Amino acid sequence: MLGFGILKGMSVTLRRFVDTYVGDLGKFPWRYRSRPVYKRMGITERGAFTIQYPEERVAMFPRYRGPLMLLTDPEKGITRCIGCGLCERTCPTESIKVTRAEEKVDDQRVPETYEYDMNTCMFCGFCVQICPQDALGHSPELEMGTYSKGDALILNLDQMLELGRKHAPGGVWPLEKEAEPS
Amino acid sequence: MSVEQVVFLVLAVAAVGSAVGVVISRNIFYSALLLVACLFIVAGFYVLLEAPFLAAVQVLIYVGAIAVLIIFAIMLTERMMSKTVRGWNEQWWIALIVTVCLVAVMLYVVVTANWQVSDAATPSDAIVALGQTLLSTYVLPFEVASVILLMALIGAIIIAREEEPVGVVGEQKEEER
Amino acid sequence: MTELKTETITINMGPQHPSTHGVFRLILTLDGETVVDVEPVVGYLHRNHEKIGEKNNWIQNTPFTDRLDYISPMSNEFAYVLAVEKLAEIEPPERAKYIRIIMVELNRIVNHMIAVGFLLNELGCFFTPMFYCLRWRELVVDLYEMTAGSRMMPNYFWIGGVSADLPEKFLPECKEFVDAVPGFIDELERLLTDNEILQMRCRNVGVLPPDVAVEYGCTGPLLRASGVPYDIRKAEPYSIYDRFDFDIAAGTVGDVLDRYLVRIAEMRQSAKIVEQALRDLPEGETATPKKRKFRPPEGDVYHRIEAPKGELGFYLVSDGSENPYRYKIRAPSFVNLQSLPYMCRGHKIADVVIIIGSIDITMGEVDR
Amino acid sequence: MEAIQGILEFIDQIFVKLSFWFSAQLANFLPDWGVTFIMMFATVLVLIVFGLASIIWINVFERKIIGRIQDRYGPNRFGPWGLLQCVADMIKLLTKEDVTPTKADRLIFNLAAVAPVIPTFMILAVLPFGRGMVAADLSIGYLYIVAVGCLGTIAIFMAGWSSRNKYALLGGMRTVAQMISYEIPMVLSVVGVLLLVGSLSMVSIVEAQGQWRLPFVVLQPLAFVLYFTAAVAEVNRSPFDLPEGESEIVAGYHTEYSGIKFAMFLLAEYINAFSICAIATTVFLGGWQGPILPSWAWFFIKTYFLYFVLIWMRGTLPRLRVDQLMNFSWKTLVPLALANLMLTALVAKLVPQYSHVGAIAFLVMNVVVIVCIALVKYPRWRRDRREVVLVPRTATPQVDSS
């Protein structure tokens, strides 16, 4: 009636407007936090909520389902994968191809080739859950952009092992278990 | 030749040119736009005659309102949008006769009229004087004009009104089902 | 002069149009700005979902259901998983049941926030309420990511439980979120509910009388706004909905304003349910042991849930093999969209946009 | 003390002095008419450069404020604090392909892209930016603004028609209907002020407020609200941005325009929005009058404050519908403007001018009008309030589908 509703609404937006500046003051003079922040923003926190991406980087949640990586057993120094191919069979989009090597290493079967096609992967996580050896994990990688689709997004065995060594030196997934001292 | 005369000549040529354009243009939308241009140039004449008030009113009413209405009407009328509207029809000779007569009368007036030249300077507050004159000396014609305009408005509404008001949305739907 | 003859113009609204919620085409016949007829054209996003479902085995289907109504993935999974569990007679653990309820109700809040936000955006609020709503959606998808690992396509529900237990930080953060929801909704209402322009725009626009709504098979907030308090959570309680105390919001007129208000009221009720579920959450297992494949007995099943957009049902036929023999989805958006031409006729072109917004469709679900 | 005043005076008049100095320099080697001509040309150039340059900050200003309202930062990547964002946008627009649809009427299509910019710059000519800082103090000031303002209608209509696009046509039709309807309350609401001033000249309007020692917004608050509402509609800004309502008719009349031609429409829109704020400042907020700060600073402070309100409204309010828009103009704004005009005339006749009694009388008059409207509207608003029904427990409802 008579614009009171309009004024009420405008008071809300004005408050938000002022709040963003108050929030900025809180960050002063480090407007861009350079270290990764765990919490994207507080639930009751007010103020601007955008993350200034290249400067501010949010740490991924430990369970974040990124591209697959093959985990390495830190004690043995070889991968945990035995090349059984269960992941290949459970994958709904047929993105994984594994072949098993003829000879064993350290009394353990190992894969000869592993081909993971990120073009078709839907990141459902079935392969990780089904793996009997717990040899697969999701890497917290998120900048996997390339200039072309196709071969650039197909990872082979070495690349996946590399990802695993980089992100999960302890050789366990989810990464929250990694943090636990055991 | 003074600056005023040069400006007058330019304006006059532009005005006549656009007026001719209105008549001979095949595309009726172009005609309408040229009419706008013509009316706008006429406002320029008023400025030249040191009657800025009249110029502003000319632009406001003729360009801003009437010309827009004309364009609106053209655009919303069927078949007017096509680019080849014929410039004449069977009655062209009647129009020619009427036009010739009109031109003759106007020429006669122009030639025979006694054009008075006033030496008095234009009053600085012409608007105030104009307002006072309109509401004192010429109050009757002013009021009559407004009444006539009002009648025209009401008449237009009555003619355009539909006899049966369109039902409310809900009612229409009742029938459909 | 009884009637002025006017010419109608035909306008293609979509497939690329800012406010058709995806690739959706409307053929509008307009008389001036008044809509004479509407013909919705769907199918631009068709991707053989049901056929893919027959090719996949029973377990592999869950991540695909996320892609149906991508605004509320948890509800889709919930419906599918419940249907398979009903078919195979699997009973998930208690804790998993509560976790599911928490997720699905959070999902309802998110979905309604998106619906309300986009509706207001289509009313011309230049993204402000939408950004406020998206901010809150962000909080919920953070909770999803924390738990399931993915924001939009969580693939969290399993046949026989959920894929992982809740992480440590989930409970306090979820509690904090649920406590903050009513405050946020109050702010949203203060922002626009009393706004004169919104009231003018939404009042008596796109009225859907209750009997017509039932005839069209509308469900969800659309039906409830028309004044039919029908909610599957109450009408035939599935899972453990009979343990919670909540109300059904129903409108009185059935116009866009009512749908807006009903959605807002439902958000409050959902927050209430999550609160109760968090309070009663038992300890224990969250899933039956995982398998790669399983074979349900022969037979068919139809299970429906109250998804945020309406009745979401899965009809599954099993021939005892690893794959479903038939996999059919009753998608609420698709059915609710049928009432669009009825609601639009006689309104202005600007109303068509907000009526689409008030139905709350997701093209992923309509076209499948 | 006097020294300070002298400095303030100098800063106040710095632009005027600059222009005198410039013309004096010219007079050294040019005849009289040459100086006049060059000064005219220079003034026009300054106004145009001002108009173009102000886009650069107005645009960033607008986007940053909208961003802040929406809990975002707004542009902050290009230049310090993102201030050069507009430059980047301009480069993008200039290098874009200039598309003309095949079916479009080429001549008018191209002409229409330029046409709306001309009247917008013409309006700047009569705005007093500071004490003595006006390009042309026309005796018909406000009438000139209205007359020139209505030229934009035709340009937009040309754009809508010549695109041969149905969305553009709808947008064009909406624009014309809207602009014609809102011109009337816009003019009528200011007439009350003109009545108090007794002149149409923008400079006299500002000076009259100096004589009252009050801005007219105190004497005519209702007129101010009416003017601002109508003017916002006149320049197609939110919540009256129907001609380009992006959720309904894509982009309205400039749907088919791209690249530099699109930039021209944008330019016209921003300068128009600036102009209405400047006019409102001049007519209602006392123009360049204010203590201590130089006059032009006051003018810009007030104008940009109003511009902020404009952006604020854009960030908050939903859009009206076509028929409601027309209703609002003809059934609300016009009658109120007329009532305001008649009451103002009455009060102005009864009370002495430039007095406190007069000011109080005007204020009381406005309060009475507003209270009357409230009394009429309140019962209906109470009746129309809508709330949802909460049903605690139901079985499957039985619907009578007969």
Given this model, what pLDDT does residue B79 score? 56
CB C163 within 8 A of CB C287: yes
**Residue that wins the pLDDT comparison between C31 and C301:** C301
Confidence of residue C292 (pLDDT cuts 50, 70, 90): low
Spell out which residues of chain B touch residue C345, defining contact as CB-CB under 8 Å.
Answer: 169, 172-173, 176
Given this model, what pLDDT does residue D169 score? 79
Nearest by CB: A43 against C146, C177, C196: C177
Given this model, what pLDDT does residue B168 score? 46
pLDDT digits (tens, 9 = 90+) for D217-234: 888 888 888 899 888 888
pLDDT digits (tens, 9 = 90+) for C149-184: 888 888 888 888 888 888 888 888 888 888 888 888
- C348: contact with D, CB 8 A cutoff: yes
Count of domains for chain B: 1
pLDDT at B144 exceeding the cut of 90: yes
3-state secondary structure of C113: helix
For residue A127, give the nearest of A78, A160, A162, A170 by alpha carbon: A160
Of the CA atoms within 13 Å of residue C218, those in its CB half-sphere come to 31
Quick check: is B111 in a domain? no
Spell out which residues of chain A touch residue C65, defining contact as CB-CB under 8 Å.
Answer: none
Do C149 and A64 lie within an 8 Å CB cutoff? yes
Spell out which residues of chain A touch residue D372, defining contact as CB-CB under 8 Å.
Answer: none
Given this model, what pLDDT does residue A39 score? 59
Given this model, what pLDDT does residue A30 score? 59
Nearest by CB: D157 against B56, B68, B127: B68
Q: Which domain does D323 fall in, by range?
A: 101-380
| Bridge partners, residue A114, by sequence | A98
pLDDT at B2 exceeding the cut of 80: no
CB C305 within 8 A of CB C83: no
Given this model, what pLDDT does residue C6 score? 63
For testing contact with chain C, the best of B169, B171, B172, B177 (most C CBs within 10 A):
B169
How far apart are the CA of C270 and the nearest CA of chain A, in angstroms?
A: 18
The complex scores an ipTM of 0.82
For testing contact with chain A, the best of C173, C185, C197, C292 (most A CBs within 10 A):
C292
Confidence of residue A38 (pLDDT cuts 50, 70, 90): low
pLDDT at D139 exceeding the cut of 80: no
* Average model confidence (pLDDT) across chain A: 78
Neighbours of A151 (CB within 10 A): 9
Q: Ramachandran region of residue C360, left (φ > 0), alpha (ψ -120 to 50) or beta?
A: left
**Residue that wins the pLDDT comparison between A32 and A56:** A56
User: What DSSP character marks residue A44?
Assistant: S
pLDDT digits (tens, 9 = 90+) for C199-252: 888 888 888 888 888 888 888 888 888 888 888 888 888 888 888 888 888 888
Do C345 and B170 lie within an 8 Å CB cutoff? no
Subunit partners of chain B (3 or more CB pairs within 8 A): C, D
CA-CA-CA-CA torsion sign (C107, C113, C115, C121): negative
Confidence of residue B169 (pLDDT cuts 50, 70, 90): very low
Proportion of chain D above pLDDT 70, given as a percent: 97
Please state the rounded mean pLDDT for residues B161-170: 52
For Cα atoms D49, D53, D57, give the angle at the middle one, nearest 5 degrees: 160
Name, in order, each residue with C-beta under 8 angstroms of D192's C-beta and a sequence gap of 6 or more. D220, D223, D340, D341, D344, D345
pLDDT digits (tens, 9 = 90+) for A57-88: 777 788 888 888 888 887 777 788 888 888 88
For testing contact with chain A, the best of D62, D65, D70 (most A CBs within 10 A):
D70
Quick check: is D157 in a domain? yes
| Bridge partners, residue C316, by sequence | C301, C327
Do A6 and D316 lie within an 8 Å CB cutoff? yes
For testing contact with chain D, the best of B28, B80, B127 (most D CBs within 10 A):
B127
Give the 3-state secondary structure of C49-78. Answer: HHHHHHHCCCCCHHHHHCCCCCCCHHHHHH
Do C64 and A92 lie within an 8 Å CB cutoff? yes
How far apart are the CA of D330 and the nearest CA of chain A, in angstroms?
A: 17
For residue B161, the domain's CATH number is 1.20.120.1200
pLDDT digits (tens, 9 = 90+) for A83-99: 888 888 888 888 888 88
Given this model, what pLDDT does residue C4 score? 53
Given this model, what pLDDT does residue D382 score? 75
Sorted by where each begins, the domain ranges of chain A are 1-58, 68-179
Determine phi and psi for D279, rounding to 5 degrees.
Answer: -65, -45
Spell out which residues of chain B touch residue C207, defining contact as CB-CB under 8 Å.
Answer: 169-170
Do B126 and D139 lie within an 8 Å CB cutoff? yes
Residues 258-287 of C with CB under 8 A from D: 258, 261-262, 265
Confidence of residue B97 (pLDDT cuts 50, 70, 90): very high
Given this model, what pLDDT does residue B150 score? 92
Determine phi and psi for D277, rounding to 5 degrees.
Answer: -65, -40
**Cα C94 to chain centroid, rounded:** 25
Given this model, what pLDDT does residue B106 score? 92
How far apart are the CA of D371 and the nearest CA of chain A, in angstroms?
A: 10
Question: Where do runs of H (alpha helix) occur along D70-165?
Answer: 85-94, 106-114, 117-124, 141-149, 151-162
For testing contact with chain D, the best of A1, A4, A33, A52 (most D CBs within 10 A):
A1
Spell out which residues of chain B touch residue D183, defining contact as CB-CB under 8 Å.
Answer: 64
Do D70 and C131 lie within an 8 Å CB cutoff? yes
Given this model, what pLDDT does residue A179 score? 53
- C207: contact with B, CB 8 A cutoff: yes
3-state secondary structure of C46: coil
**Residue that wins the pLDDT comparison between D92 and C290:** D92
Subunit partners of chain C (3 or more CB pairs within 8 A): A, B, D
How far apart are the CA of C163 and the nearest CA of chain B, in angstroms?
A: 50
**Cα D113 to chain centroid, rounded:** 20
Quick check: is D1 in a domain? no
Confidence of residue A2 (pLDDT cuts 50, 70, 90): low
Q: Do chains A and B touch (3 or more CB pairs under 8 A)?
A: no
Quick check: is B90 in a domain? no
Please state the rounded mean pLDDT for residues C132-149: 86
Quick check: is B118 in a domain? no
- Which residue type does B130 have? L
CB A172 within 8 A of CB A63: no
pLDDT at A175 exceeding the cut of 80: no
| Bridge partners, residue C25, by sequence | C41
Please state the rounded mean pLDDT for residues C323-335: 88
Count of domains for chain D: 1
- Which chain D residue has the Cα nearest residue A3? D374
How far apart are the CA of C346 and the nearest CA of chain B, in angstroms?
A: 6
Name, in order, each residue with C-beta under 8 angstroms of B10's C-beta and a sequence gap of 6 or more. none
- Which chain B residue has the Cα nearest residue C348? B169
Given this model, what pLDDT does residue D86 score? 83
Do D65 and A17 lie within an 8 Å CB cutoff? yes
Given this model, what pLDDT does residue B102 score? 94
Do C201 and D66 lie within an 8 Å CB cutoff? no
Given this model, what pLDDT does residue C192 score? 81
Quick check: is D307 in a domain? yes
Confidence of residue B104 (pLDDT cuts 50, 70, 90): very high
pLDDT digits (tens, 9 = 90+) for C224-239: 888 888 888 888 888 8
* Average model confidence (pLDDT) across chain D: 82
User: What DSSP character marks residue C241?
Assistant: G
Quick check: is B171 in a domain? yes
3-state secondary structure of D306: helix
Please state the rounded mean pLDDT for residues C277-299: 79
How far apart are the CA of A134 and the nearest CA of chain C, in angstroms?
A: 14
Do A124 and C147 lie within an 8 Å CB cutoff? no
- Rounded distance, CA D192 to CA D199, Å? 11
The answer regarding whether domain A68-179 maps to CATH 3.40.50.1820 reads: no
Given this model, what pLDDT does residue D79 score? 75
Determine phi and psi for D96, rounding to 5 degrees.
Answer: -75, 155
How far apart are the CA of D138 and the nearest CA of chain B, in angstroms?
A: 9
Confidence of residue B167 (pLDDT cuts 50, 70, 90): very low
Spell out which residues of chain A touch residue C146, defining contact as CB-CB under 8 Å.
Answer: 61, 63
Confidence of residue B174 (pLDDT cuts 50, 70, 90): very low
Confidence of residue D362 (pLDDT cuts 50, 70, 90): confident
pLDDT digits (tens, 9 = 90+) for C30-79: 877 788 888 888 888 888 888 888 888 888 888 888 888 888 888 898 99
